[in-house]
Amino acid sequence: PLKVMPVPAASLKLNTNEEIDEVYSRLTATFQSGATRSLAYRRKQLLQLARMLQDNHVAFEDALLADLNKPRLETTVSEVAHLITSTLNAAENLESWAAPDPCPTQEVWRSSWGATLYKEPKGVVLIISPWNYPLVLTVNPLIGAIAAGCPTVLKPSELVPTFCELFSRLIPKYLDPNAYAVIKGGVPETTHALALRWDHIFYTGNSRVGRIVATAAGKNLTPVTLELGGKSAAVVADDCDDLDLVAKRILYGKIQNSGQLCVAPDYALVPRAKVAAFVDSLKKAHDEFWPEGDHPLTGSQPISNIIHPTHHAHLVDLLNRTKGMIVFGGEIHKDKSIAPTILTDVPVDDVLMDEEIFGPFLPILAVDDIDDAIRVINSKPIPLVIYLFTTQDDLKHKFLLETRSGQLVVNDTIMQLCAHEMPFGGQGESGYGMWFGKTTFDVFTHRRGCITVPFSDEPFFQGRYRPYTEDKYKA
């Protein structure tokens, strides 16, 4: 098995601009040669990718443990295992995904034109991914790019240096190095890469950088997918009686990767009369997750690290400035992690409500009724997801009609990520463009319309030619 040594951020060997240009030229030449087009080639690369994941799952666990203190089981379950399934699923369905789509026409005489959409690779593409789920957010889009026949440059986050080193060693070992390459870089290297003319850019990360990526892409008219974040609300409706279960599901969603997950429930909207009981239920769930004698910061199964001392300091600053009341949690492991923290009496205009928290805090806002909850959600930019807890089907429809979000999930958190074939994506501030399963193949595919107009159709066309005379239109 591969030995993974932790790589300190300062030791990550970044690519030079010349190396980035060389990679770009190499992959462009490969695309132009047509080498990535055949389905047999794409299938082979997908199977190799699955093999890479399978052979090295322990190495990936080691890397994410070193970079994020991510529990091994979380890496296996949320990063490696379903990627293997998704890769094999793409290999298995490749033929049907890539098959041309006939476009039936209404008029009988046009049916002979054989209107068809052919699926063609867009070209050389760039995938830029963040640190929080570094493997899944790099490889999942890659699966679609390989399946579509696109040579791909991968730019993982420099904030997970051990992962970056490992990934950049493995990709050329398993995949065709003339078609798939990893760039190691931070802001300057990514800025250089963004100035090149890509055929698609797939970016996952925060909205501020999303704007930078979209602006750079705009200069070359490059299509972009932006997978961003936002303030995803969890709404507890008045009819929820089993608050223990609701709290357990919300807390589970909040503590994954210490709240550093794009679809983490950011804050909770709870009927005023139920807040105290909901807090009790959260405490109960917390004590189930970390039983007597165990502790999220120092126990046998500690919570993941906060990625960076700067983000840690930002979260501590939020705790210092909030007008809310910490009802439990709040313990801080200097520069490393923070215990799951529940706050009540949080006003709508509190610092915790300004931006996506991306940390293990759950502010609870008391609301008068469901319309009040909807008003709070609609006063914010469109979130990636709304989690609604209710037993009433009507409420789901009310939310579908009266709110906007990337997804609406009823009665659980995060599980939309397990609906692999349901296209996933944000709206407004939470991004644009959809992906997952076949939809990721579609992201990197140009659907090229093609018709063949028979010469024998000439009698139908007499009216289109000059001179435009009355008798032609009468006919």
Which residues in this chain contact ligand NAD in the complex, by CB under 6 A?
128-132, 137, 155, 157-159, 186-187, 190-191, 204-206, 209, 212, 227-229, 262, 356, 358, 384, 426, 431
Q: What is the CA radius of gyration of the chain?
A: 25
d(CA 233, CA 228): 15
Question: Nearer to ligand NAD by C-beta: 276 or 418?
Answer: 418
- What is the nearest approach in angstroms of ligand NAD to the Cβ of residue 93? 22
Catalytic residue list contains 227: yes
Structure tokens at 50: 């699955």
Which of 79, 164, 262, 355 is flagged as catalytic?
A: 262
Q: Coil, helix or strand for 365?
A: strand
3 state DSSP class of 445 = strand
> At closest approach, how far in Å is the CB of 222 from ligand NAD?
14
User: CB of residue 158 vs ligand NAD: minimum separation in angstroms?
Assistant: 5
User: How many whole angstroms separate alpha carbon 201 and alpha carbon 129?
Assistant: 11
What are the angstrom distances between the C-alpha of 76 and each of 10, 82, 342? Answer: 27, 9, 28
CB environment 265-293: b (16+ within 10 A), e (fewer): bbbbbbbeebbeebbebbbebbeeebeee
Burial status of residue 317 (CB atoms within 10 A of its CB: 0-12, 13-18, 19 or more): exposed
Nearest C-alpha neighbor of 361 from the set 371, 353, 370: 353
CA atoms within 13 A on the CB side of 95: 2
Task: Kindly tell me which of 131 and 389 has the beta carbon lying closer to ligand NAD.
Answer: 131
CB of 209 vs ligand NAD, minimal distance in Å: 4
Pick between residue 61 and residue 429 the one whose CB is nearest to ligand NAD.
429
Q: Cβ–Cβ contacts within 10 Å for residue 114, how many?
A: 15
Q: How far is the CB of 207 from ligand NAD (least distance, A)?
A: 7
Q: Of the candidates 104, 144, 103, which has an alpha carbon nearest to the alpha carbon of residue 125?
A: 144
Q: Give phi and psi for 389, each to the nearest 5.
A: -110, 115
Query: For residue 133, what are the contacts with CB-CB under 8 A and spacing of at least 6?
Result: 78, 79, 257, 261
Taking the least distance from each CB to ligand NAD, the nearer of 57 and 184 is 184
Shortest gap between Cβ of 172 and ligand NAD (angstroms)? 19
CB of 327 to ligand NAD, least distance (A): 25
Question: Residue 387 Cβ, how far from ligand NAD at the closest point, in Å?
Answer: 15
Q: Which residue has the tokens 């001179």?
A: 467
What are the CA-CA distances from residue 71 to residues 15, 83, 139, 360 (Å)?
30, 18, 20, 16
∠ CA 18-23-27, rounded to 5° = 150
| Chain position whose Cβ is nearest to ligand NAD | 229
Length of the chain: 475
Residue among 134, 129, 119, 112 at smallest CA distance from 7: 134
- Among 61, 189, 227, 356, the active-site one is 227
Amino acid at 273: A
Nearer to ligand NAD, 125 or 367 (CB): 125
**Mind telling me the catalytic residues?**
227, 262
